[in-house]
Amino acid sequence: MKTWITCLLLLAAGGSRSFGQLLNGEEERFTRADSLRGTLTPLRTSYDVTFYHLNLRVDIDRKTIAGSNRVRFRVVQPFDRLQLDLYANLAIEKIVFRGQPLVFTRAFNAVFVQFPEKQKVGSTQEMEVFYGGSPTVAQRAPWDGGFVWSRDAGGKPWVGVACQGAGASLWWPCKDHQSDEPDSMRISVAVPPGVINVSNGRPRGRQSLPDGYVRYDWYVSNPINTYAVTLNIADYATFGDAYAGQDGNLSLDYYVLRENLAKARKQFEQVKPMLACYERYFGPYPFYQDGYKLVETPYLGMEHQSAVAYGNGYLPGYEGSATSEPGLTFDYIIIHESAHEWWGNSVTSADIADMWIHESFATYAEALYVECRQGYPAALTYMNAQRSGIGNQQPIIGPYGVNQEGSGDMYNKGMLMLNTLRGVVNNDQLWFETIGGLAREFKHKITNAEGVIAYFNRRLGKDYTYFFDQYLRHARLPTLLVYYVKKGDQTLVTFRWDADVPDFRMPVRITTAKGKYEWIEPGTDFKTLPLKGLRFEDLKVADDRFYIDVKISAQYFDPNAAGN
């Protein structure tokens, strides 16, 4: 269970659009499988998961998994049938409730479980799903979901899993929807001798099994996204540290391949200053009870809660490259994926259509890290260097109810959108109080676009719905049309917004005299201001702090010409 903070129920917001949405004039078609995966029907909303115990055995040689998941849930509405999720390529042996097997049917990746009688509202029940098979193998993790079966330099197994977007149900049975998270979770993974397993939360012991396997038990004390649940299997070397943070001492534990131990000790020195910056802006690390871990993985990275996946090769930037000099001053994976502990793992979107809540804020956190360490000019350089990679071809918010994300622009465009709003607010104290307040107020909670926008409007004291609608629900940028007019000694500037939102009215700064910026408040109708002898080439818009399109043109009139 995770508390909802929102203005509208997701079902009301998205259910009616389960089979299609217009994007740039083209209808995108969705199937029944998409709706079963993405829509909150009564078969899902009638129960609230409070605890999972995933108990799994991993056969590395055969690349198979087998085990069970115990699901504890609270009955919200009376029901005798519910939906779980598990990919169709994994077989279900049985589902047990009160010692008896339950009848179930399957459709695509959905599992429909029939109970012998109506379940009483307010009661807490448990069922256990026994299953196994060959899980999906990722071809290009983390961009596609699945297991990664690899080997370290010494030939020992090195196994990981990433499933964001594809869903946790590609490897374990659960209610695979971001709107419901357990309050806590136990993860037990049995592996062959010679390797260990690292999962989320804190270790709860290990047990040698009769067949030589060793089971590693982990416990998560906080709510957790299903896609953030993980296993990591390797012959890990480990070392630790501690961070004196806002909520006390936070344990820092690192699990890396033995051949990379020296590199890791040096590279992971970035963690403590990063945590200090993030706690400065966003408040305390959200999972002190579960600690903080970096775990080396055979793929680039992922925001697995309290067990952040790291695979950046101990290089600066993104695998050793960046679009700006500030981008090479830190390890992108450490900084970005750790930001998700606040944005995504703590503050969670109910539907992946609103994944911008995770990615826009986590990408903006990168810029704030640069600002924290190097100042705002360096952060502006870092942010504006990302512009060339933005497509502006599809909305950032995706279609609801079909397990579909919006545009990948949610990363860099989302970051620049937030920095633009900071410029509009023009009050850094208020801005940072608002950002920090958002992380605190929504801590361990689930929300959606409407809930976040309503929060900004309330905390900033103005209605910025028009702003978010333009940047999130429409593909193109707002365009500021500026016309420079000179007639003899008289100089004027005329301007307006060309935007999709009818009442778009974002203020911006332009030069009204050489080198002097002033605020203007364009609307969708033309407005005119006098200029103080400004030449056309000196007419500028402060678009380094506002992510907008600008079109400036000039017209010169002879004051003696007829009709002028």
| CATH number, domain with residue 161 | 2.60.40.1730
Note the pLDDT of residue 560.
81
Confirm whether 211 is domain-assigned: yes
The DSSP symbol for 335 reads H
Other C-beta atoms closer than 10 Å to the C-beta of 5 total: 18
Confirm whether 553 is domain-assigned: yes
- The pLDDT confidence band at residue 9, using thresholds 50, 70 and 90, is very low
Q: Calculate the alpha carbon distances from 497 to 418, 494, 549 in Å.
A: 19, 11, 10
The lowest-confidence range among 406-420, 461-475, 549-563 is 549-563
Note the pLDDT of residue 2.
65
Is the model's pLDDT at 10 over the cut of 90? no
Which residues on neighbouring strands pair with residue 520, listed in sequence order? 508
- The pLDDT confidence band at residue 15, using thresholds 50, 70 and 90, is very low
Other C-beta atoms closer than 10 Å to the C-beta of 311 total: 21
Note the pLDDT of residue 16.
28
Per-residue model confidence as pLDDT tens digits over 468-495: 999 999 999 999 999 999 998 899 999 9
| pTM given for the model | 0.94
Question: What is the enclosing helix (H) or strand (E) of 252?
Answer: strand 248-257
Per-residue model confidence as pLDDT tens digits over 498-547: 999 999 999 999 999 888 999 999 999 999 999 988 999 999 999 999 99
- Of 339, 373, 399, the position where a domain reaches its end is 339
Q: Which residues of 201-214 are buried (b: 16+ CB within 10 A; e: fewer)?
A: bbeeeeeeeeeebb
Average pLDDT over residues 52-74: 98
Distance from chain centroid for Cα 528: 42
Return the closest-CA partner of residue 146 out of 123, 182, 172: 172
Average pLDDT over residues 63-88: 98
Confirm whether 163 is domain-assigned: yes
Is the model's pLDDT at 389 over the cut of 70? yes
- Of 339, 361, 379, the position where a domain reaches its end is 339
Per-residue model confidence as pLDDT tens digits over 20-39: 233 344 446 899 999 999 99
Confirm whether 408 is domain-assigned: no
- The pLDDT confidence band at residue 1, using thresholds 50, 70 and 90, is low
Confirm whether 360 is domain-assigned: no
Per-residue model confidence as pLDDT tens digits over 376-385: 999 999 999 9
Per-residue model confidence as pLDDT tens digits over 206-215: 999 999 999 9
The lowest-confidence range among 1-5, 68-72, 462-466 is 1-5
Return the closest-CA partner of residue 367 out of 398, 336, 402: 336
Is the model's pLDDT at 112 over the cut of 70? yes
CA distance 335 to 308: 11
Other C-beta atoms closer than 10 Å to the C-beta of 262 total: 10
Sign of the alpha-carbon dihedral angle for 414, 420, 424, 427 = positive
Confirm whether 356 is domain-assigned: no
Q: Which residues of 432-457 are buried (b: 16+ CB within 10 A; e: fewer)?
A: eebbbbbbeebbbbbbbbbbbbbbbe
Note the pLDDT of residue 29.
81
**Torsion, CA 364, CA 365, CA 369, CA 375, rounded to 10:** 40
**Could you give the number of structural domains in the chain?**
2
The DSSP symbol for 364 reads H
| CATH code for position 495 | 2.60.40
Note the pLDDT of residue 5.
52
Per-residue model confidence as pLDDT tens digits over 231-290: 999 999 999 999 999 999 999 999 999 999 999 999 999 999 999 999 999 999 999 999
CA distance 11 to 289: 33
Helical spans, DSSP H, in 315-474: 332-339, 356-374, 376-384, 412-425, 428-441, 449-460, 465-473
Q: Given the DSSP bridges, would you call strands 157-162 and 146-151 parallel, antiparallel or unpaired?
A: antiparallel
Which residues on neighbouring strands pair with residue 133, listed in sequence order? 65
The DSSP symbol for 103 reads E
Can you read off the two tokens belonging to residue 89?
A: 């390529």
Note the pLDDT of residue 165.
92
Maximum distance among all Cα pairs of the chain, rounded to whole angstroms: 102
Is the model's pLDDT at 14 over the cut of 60? no
Note the pLDDT of residue 562.
63
Q: Calculate the alpha carbon distances from 79 to 126, 176, 275, 401 in Å.
A: 14, 19, 45, 22
Confirm whether 515 is domain-assigned: yes
Taking phi over 0 as left and psi of -120 to 50 as alpha, with beta for the rest, 301 belongs to left
Confirm whether 86 is domain-assigned: yes
Q: Is 273 helix (H, G, I), strand (E, B) or coil?
A: helix
Note the pLDDT of residue 546.
98
CA distance 549 to 216: 54
Note the pLDDT of residue 12.
32
Structural domain that includes position 251: 42-339
Per-residue model confidence as pLDDT tens digits over 132-150: 999 999 999 999 999 999 9
Other C-beta atoms closer than 10 Å to the C-beta of 527 total: 12
Compute the mean pLDDT over every residue in the chain, rounded to the nearest whole number.
94
Note the pLDDT of residue 18.
29
Is the model's pLDDT at 348 over the cut of 50? yes
- Of 274, 307, 339, the position where a domain reaches its end is 339
